[in-house]
Amino acid sequence: QVQLVESGGGQVQTGGSLRVSCAASGRTFGSYTMGWFRTAPGKEREIVAAISWNGGIRYYAESVKGRFTISRGVARNTVSLQMNSLKPEETAVYYCAAGTSTFSMEKPELYDYWGQGTQVTVSS
């Protein structure tokens, strides 16, 4: 059974930092692109960041460039997102996803597996 399990969400004040992580199991994810998406209240799901199977390609949403860093573990079945200088408008449920495409990494429809999400709340 394939599972993506997120951890590390929580509450932080404006300007603070959080690190969310995702552990994938149930199959070999070494060749998969992994990404982080978020859904804020009343908004559609949007890409935050994605990383190719070997880490050679990293995609960031324009709004998070320079503040967020995506990385994956040596075993390639874990992915983390370090979030710095967080803003209240980034309060959302953050989802981990895995897919086979290295093109159009920002498109959620190209991801095959999804986690249940972890809440990140940034208070002002």
Using CB atoms within 10 A of its CB, is residue 123 exposed (0-12), middle (13-18) or buried (19+)? Answer: exposed
Q: Are 64 and 58 in contact (CB under 8 A)?
A: no
Neighbours of 103 (CB within 10 A): 10
- Mean pLDDT, the chain, as a whole number? 95
Tell me the three state secondary structure of residue 101.
coil
- Tokens linked to 5: 């399990």
Cα-Cα-Cα-Cα torsion 109, 64, 121, 17, nearest 10 degrees, comes to: 130
Q: How confident is the model at residue 76 (pLDDT cuts 50, 70, 90)?
A: confident
Q: How confident is the model at residue 10 (pLDDT cuts 50, 70, 90)?
A: very high
